[in-house]
Amino acid sequence: MSIAHRMIAARKIRTFWSSGPDGRAMFAEAFFLPLLISAGFRLAGVPRTQAALRRWSAAFPKPDSRVPHAVILDAVRAQRTIRRTLKIGGSCLVRSLSLWALLLRRGIPTDLRVGYRKKDGAMEGHAWLEYAGNPINEEPAVAGTYCVQENLVAFDRSLARLAR
């Protein structure tokens, strides 16, 4: 490893340790959640994985007294840092559910959006989160190119039961 790479690694480690216990916990969750969610999709399917994330968030809350926008920015930053540095992130649905669980655990409810569009004759799907009607892990211009189907299929079966 070159000296430049060592200096970059040392700076990242210093940043991690200086983020405080709450920041380190958020980085740890941003690291582990995509791995667990990807495995959950394969073993239990999307609805059960999302339900498990909801139960985990409720069973182990980590309330944050800061304004929601500050917490959202920190969570998005942690997720992007983990994805960029360690190449862990998964598909847009995995990333969105990871961020959804991070924020739900901290008492910030967000809306998972799944949209579809036709591009070059093929259908494409994409997932992102919204808070107060604004995309938080996708550019608004990109999210606007997708048609969001409301009430198409509830990922979380517990939500489908509540709607009845």
Q: What phi, psi does 95 have (nearest 5°)?
A: -60, -40
- Other Cβ atoms less than 10 A from the Cβ of 95: the count is 24
Residue 56: per-residue pLDDT = 95
Strands 122-131 and 111-119: antiparallel
Q: State the average pLDDT over residues 110-119.
A: 91
pLDDT at 150 over 80: no
In whole angstroms, how large is the CA radius of gyration of the chain?
17
Q: Which residue has the higher pLDDT, 119 or 34?
A: 34
Coil/strand/helix, residue 106: coil
**Alpha-carbon dihedral 28, 32, 37, 43, rounded to 10 degrees:** -150
Check whether 148 has a pLDDT greater than 70.
Answer: yes
Average pLDDT, the chain: 87
Structure tokens at 146: 């997708």
Residue 13: predicted pLDDT = 76
pTM of the model: 0.84
Q: Is the pLDDT of residue 82 over 50?
A: yes
Q: What pLDDT, on the 0 to 100 scale, is given for residue 162?
A: 47
Q: What is the pLDDT, as a whole number, of residue 11? A: 78
